[in-house]
Chains A and B, each alone.
Chain A
Amino acid sequence: MSQTQPDWRIDAYRDMVRIREFEETSAKLYTQGLVGGSLHLAIGQEGTIMGTVGALASGDQITMTYRGRGHALAKGADPFALFAEILGRQGGTSRGKGGPMHIYDPEVGVMGTNAIVGAGIPIAVGLALAAKMEGASRVAMTAFGDGAVNQGAFHEGLNLAAIWDLPIVFVCENNLYSEMTPIKDAVRNDSLTERAQAYRIRAVTVDGNDVEAVREVAEQAIARARAGEGPTFIECMTYRYVGHMLGDPETYRSKEEVQSWKERDPILLLREKLLREKAATKTQLDAIEAAAREEIAQAADSAQKSPEPQLEEALDDVF
C-alpha cells in the first residue's frame, strides 16, 4: 500500500474518529455506572472541534466546557488519562479529583474545561493577555456553546479582548440548543456573530460539520491572532446527536431533526470527500478507523485498571 499524502485531512479524520470512539466508549462506561455525575458528549460536533482545536500549534492554549474531552484529545491529551479521569482514578489527568467536567492538562495546553457556562471565556482572555505580556507567539482559544453568549462573562471577556487586541480565537459551537432551550427562545439575533461585532470583533459563521471550512477560517483567525491583529469570533453551526447529557429525554426536538443532521455527519462528509477526491482509499480509511478503535478500547481498558486514589489525596492540592 502506498504512503498517504501529507494531507492534514487524514490526520483530522483520524482524530475525529478517535473523538467519536472516545465519546461512545465513555457513554458505555457511564451506562455501566462507572462514571459519576453527568456526562455531556460531543458526538456530532467533531468537525467543529477538529477544525478549530486541530488548527492550533502545540504551544497554544485552550479553555472549553463540560463537553470538552474531545477538545483535549484534539490538543494532544492521552486518552488513557482522560478515561481514568472520568472514572475518577489515580491515572487521571487530575488524579480523579476533577472528573469529566474538569479536565486540565497544562503540558498540552489544555487549561481547563469548565462546568460553569461562560466562565472559561475571560480565563482564556487572561491566557491571551499573558502571551501578549510575555511577547510570546502563542495563541489562546476558547470554545463555548450558543448558550454562553447570554452570560455576562462572555460579554466582559469579549470586550476586554477587543480593547486590548489580544491573541485569542472565540469559538462558539452553535448546536442550536442550550440544554433543552432552542436558540430561537434565547436570542433575538439572526446570527451570533452580531454579538461579537458589537465589540468590534471580526466574526464569521461557518458550517461546523465541514471540517475543511472550519479549518480554513480557524487558520486565518489563528494567524491573525499570532500576528498581533487581535481576536476573531467563529460561529460554528453544528449539532449534538446525543441529548444535552446522557439520560436527557430529548422532548424538545424531533427524531427527524436529529436524523437530518446525521445525514450531514462531519466524519461521513470528510470520508466521502477524501474518497471522491481520491485523497485516500477506502482501505486506508478503514485501517485508520480500526486503529483508532483499537487505541481507544485499549485506553479505556487500562483506565479501568488504574487504581482508586488514596483517601489522603482528597486533602491535598487545596491551596
Chain B
Amino acid sequence: MSEISYAQALNQALDLAMAADPKVFVIGEDIGHHGGVFGVTKGLWEKYGAQRIIDTPISETGFLGVAVGAASVAFRPVAEIMWVDFTLVAMDQIVNQAAKTSYMSGGRVKVPLVIRTQEGAGRGNGAQHSQSLESMFAQVPGLKVVAPFDPADAKGLLTAAIEDDGPVLFLEHKLLYNRKGEVPEGRHVVPIGKARVRREGSQLTLIALSRMVAYAEEAAAELAKEGIDAEVIDLRSVVPLDMATLEASLRKTGRAIIVHEAHQSFGWGAEVAARLMDSCFYDLIAPVQRVASKDVPFPFNRTLEAFVMPSVAQIVATGRSLMNDY
C-alpha cells in the first residue's frame, strides 16, 4: 500500500495493464507527449511509445470508431474522451456501435473497449463542461457504467474494466483526480458490479456515486453528531447495479437517501428508488428520498452552481426529516 492520488492510481492501472498485455493501447487527445489534460497518462508515452499511446486529432467519432474496430479484433483499447460532454458528439459509436455489436452479432463479435472520461460539476466550468451523464448511458443495454470514488477503486475498477470483454464507460470525476488514498501496489482488481459499504449504520442508508460519496460521508458525520446512525454505500457502478448490497442495508435501516450529481429527473436514483420499493416495500419506514442536481444546465456562477448541485446540508436536512417525520 502507498498513498497516491486518484490520477496516479489510474495511471498505475493503465501502466500495469499495458505491461501485462500487448493488446492494450490508449487512444485520445493530448494523451501522449502531454500526458493527458488531467495527467492520467503521464509517462506512458515515454514508456510505451506513440504506437500504443496514440494521440489523435479532435475527432471523437473517428477515434472511438477506430477503437471499436480494433476491439472487435481482440485489441483492448482504452479511449480517453477528455470531458464526458464530448461523448455527445460520438454517441453513435458508443450507443449504436460499441454497445450493440455483441448482441447484433449473436455474441460473435465482442468489443472489449474502455471509454475513460471525466464528469462532474463544482469547478465553475459552465454548462458544457460540468455534466454528469451516467444516467443517460445506463439506459443503454450493453454498456457497463462505472464511476470510482476512491483511489484504490479507481485502480482496481479500471483494471477490471480493461479485462472485461465488453464495452465499459469509465467515469472519473474531475474533482477527484487529486484526492489521495491508500492504494495497493502491483496488480489490483476490483470486480465491476459490487457496491462498497464505506460506513456502517443502522438507521439510514446514504447511497452515492463518485464524488457524492464524499458528500455522503460528510453528511453521515454531521448526522452522527445529532445521534443519527447513517450507513454510507459507494455504488461504484450504475450498470451493473448491486441491488443485493442496497437491499441488505435497507432491510436494516428502512430509510434511504440517494445522492447523485446527475440531474434529478429520470436520473438513476429514480431507478434505484423504484427497485427498492419493489424489493423492500415492507422494510421501508419512509419513502426513499433523492438529493440530486436540479433540472437546469449547470450555471457558471459558483454560488449558483453550488445551489444547483447537491449539498451536504441538503443530505443532512433530508436525513433529519426522514428520522423525525417517520
Interface of A is mostly: mixed
Which residues 32-68 of B have a CB within 8 angstroms of A? 51-52, 56-57, 59, 61-68
Q: Which residues of B contact A121 (CB under 8 A)?
A: 65
Contact B66–A318 (Cβ < 8 Å): no
Determine the residue in chain B with the shortest Cβ distance to A105: B108
- Report Cα–Cα, A317/B165, bound state, in Å: 11
Please choose the segment from B89-97, B128-136, B148-156 that sits at the chain A interface, where 4 or more of its residues have CB less than 8 A away: B89-97
The reply on A157 being an interface residue by CB < 8 A is yes
Contact B72–A318 (Cβ < 8 Å): no
Contact A319–B144 (Cβ < 8 Å): yes
Determine the residue in chain B with the shortest Cβ distance to A152: B61
Q: Which residues of B contact A128 (CB under 8 A)?
A: 69
Q: Which residues of A contact B307 (CB under 8 A)?
A: none
Q: Which residues of A contact B25 (CB under 8 A)?
A: 133
The reply on A230 being an interface residue by CB < 8 A is no
- Report Cα–Cα, A115/B107, bound state, in Å: 18
Contact A119–B92 (Cβ < 8 Å): yes
Q: Given A123-B68, A125-B65, are A61 and B73 also a contact pair (CB < 8 Å)?
A: yes
Contact A160–B104 (Cβ < 8 Å): no
Interface centre among B62, B74, B92, B144 (most CB of A within 10 A): B62
Interface centre among B52, B66, B97 (most CB of A within 10 A): B66
The reply on B118 being an interface residue by CB < 8 A is no
Contact A130–B69 (Cβ < 8 Å): yes
Contact A125–B105 (Cβ < 8 Å): no
Proximity bits, A82-99, B CB within 8 Å = 1, else 0:
000000000011111110
Q: Which residues of A contact B102 (CB under 8 A)?
A: 317-319
Contact A126–B104 (Cβ < 8 Å): no
Contact B66–A160 (Cβ < 8 Å): yes
Contact B109–A111 (Cβ < 8 Å): yes
B103 partner, pick from A92, A105, A157, A318, beta carbons under 8 A: A318
Proximity bits, A33-61, B CB within 8 Å = 1, else 0:
00000000000000000000000000001
Q: Which residues of A contact B142 (CB under 8 A)?
A: 318-319
Contact B106–A127 (Cβ < 8 Å): no
- Report Cα–Cα, A160/B29, bound state, in Å: 13
Contact A160–B63 (Cβ < 8 Å): yes
Contact A126–B59 (Cβ < 8 Å): no
Contact A160–B92 (Cβ < 8 Å): no
Q: Which residues of A contact B101 (CB under 8 A)?
A: 104, 112
The reply on A316 being an interface residue by CB < 8 A is yes
Contact B56–A126 (Cβ < 8 Å): no
Contact B65–A98 (Cβ < 8 Å): no
- Report Cα–Cα, A181/B97, bound state, in Å: 26
A159 partner, pick from B57, B92, B104, beta carbons under 8 A: B57
Determine the residue in chain A with the shortest Cβ distance to B69: A126
Contact A122–B66 (Cβ < 8 Å): yes
The reply on A287 being an interface residue by CB < 8 A is no
- Report Cα–Cα, A316/B102, bound state, in Å: 9
Contact A97–B104 (Cβ < 8 Å): yes
Q: Which residues of B contact A116 (CB under 8 A)?
A: 92, 96-97
* B-binding residues in A (CB < 8 A): 61, 63, 92-98, 102, 104-106, 111-112, 114-116, 119, 121-130, 133, 140, 152-153, 156-157, 159-160, 163, 316-319
What are the 6 A-B residue pairs with the smallest beta carbon separation, nearest first?
Answer: A126-B69, A122-B65, A156-B62, A94-B106, A104-B105, A317-B107
